[in-house]
Structure 1
Amino acid sequence: MTRLLYSAREAAAIMGVGRNTVEDLWNTGQLAYVRLGRGRKVFHDEMVRWITDHQESSCR
């Protein structure tokens, strides 16, 4: 079963980017998050959406 929510560090590892990149995406509104207490978490589906939206075609 896939987890629903991930921290910035966990999301960064899954997405193949740095933790600061995930936080920058949150701060610029490019990646939605859920605030839990003082922390933020991102939904698995939101990471998949962002990756899908930013994939490039290998056809030239």
Structure 2
Amino acid sequence: MSTAIAAPVDRLLYKPEEAAKALSLGRSTIYVLMAEGALKYIKLGRTRRIRRSDLEAFVAALPPQHN
């Protein structure tokens, strides 16, 4: 009998703190980006969650830096 190890499920929604960790940013920076409308989020009751697709779109929209 083989035991299959389940692959971790990709997270669809992130808490602001988790999004900050995923983007290597501070938690307060995430809240500022949400307040400015630069990072989309949804409200579920009193909590805020950020869709994985919105995190990816935010990163994709960042302008490249040319030195």
- Higher RCO (C-alpha under 8 Å, 6+ residues apart): 1
TM-score (norm 2): 0.79
Could you tell me which amino acid in structure 2 is paired with residue 29 of structure 1? G
Could you tell me which amino acid in structure 2 is paired with residue 33 of structure 1? Y
Q: Segments of 4+ in structure 1 off by > 3 A?
A: none
Identity across aligned pairs (percent)?
31
Aligned equivalent of 1:31: 39
Q: 1:17 is matched with which residue: 1, 25, 43?
A: 25
Tell me, which stretches of 5 or more residues in structure 1 are unaligned?
Answer: none
Equivalent pairs counted in the alignment come to 59
RMSD: 1.4
TM-score (norm 1): 0.87
Structure 2: how far apart are the matches of 1:20 and 1:46? 18
Q: Deviations over 1:1-59 (max 9, x none)?
A: 3111000100000011011111001101111101011110000111111011114156x
Q: Secondary structure at the match of 1:48?
A: helix
Tell me, which stretches of 5 or more residues in structure 2 are unaligned?
Answer: 1-8
